[in-house]
Amino acid sequence: MNQTELLRDFLQNKMKMSHVYQPLIIRSLLQAAGTATIRQLAQDLLMEDESQLLYYEDRLKNMPLRILTKHGIVERDGDLVSLKTEGLTFKERSELRLLCEGRLSEFLEKRGLSVWDYRLIEASPVGDSLRYEVLKESGGRCSLCRVTEGDARLEVDHIVPRSKGGSNAKENLQVLCDRCNRGKSNRDDTDFR
Ligand SMILES: [Zn+2]
């Protein structure tokens, strides 16, 4: 079996999927003519992640777009967002883009990675044995919708978020499926157990 047949056979018969990752990775690599960086693969995954996209769409509509509209910077027509500034020259456009870059890097320098994703902060610190213990005590079910491991991805969630000083103590941990966890905003400290 040559390498192409091996890949075809893997895709058709051997690949056991517990998530969409494997075919997405292979598809990305095929699109990139065979080689991609991990960062590129992650970006491709992100583009396919409907839940992340919905999350950001929601976020955009709620705050920043509302503020930009209020200040007369952008206007919205349903799903379309437009700058109210029209007829910019190439030079003006570059200048304004540089201003954006400047404000961005200034802010990121001050605040660091935490600007982007509280999940990043929350994902790391629960150790494997603690995770196992919390999962075991939950009976392998989401504390909110009671879905089991086979039907959804279960996550160990901080009842009081890490970003608000919540600890890794077992009392502050509960099992949620990925869907409920995303539905629970970071502001919500509800203990669902
Ligand atoms: Zn759930």
How many angstroms separate the alpha carbon of residue 157 from the centre of ligand 1? Answer: 11
Which pLDDT does position 33 carry in this prediction?
87
**For the chain, what percent of residues have pLDDT higher than 90?**
22
How many angstroms separate the alpha carbon of residue 14 from the centre of ligand 1? Answer: 31
- Confidence check: pLDDT of 164 > 90: no
pLDDT digit string, tens, across residues 5-64: 999 999 999 888 877 888 888 998 998 888 988 888 888 888 888 877 888 888 888 888
Task: Tell me the pTM.
Answer: 0.47
Of 183, 185, 132, nearest in space to 163 by CA: 185
How many angstroms separate the alpha carbon of residue 113 from the centre of ligand 1? Answer: 28
Give the HSE-up count for residue 131: Cα atoms under 13 Å, Cβ half-sphere. 12
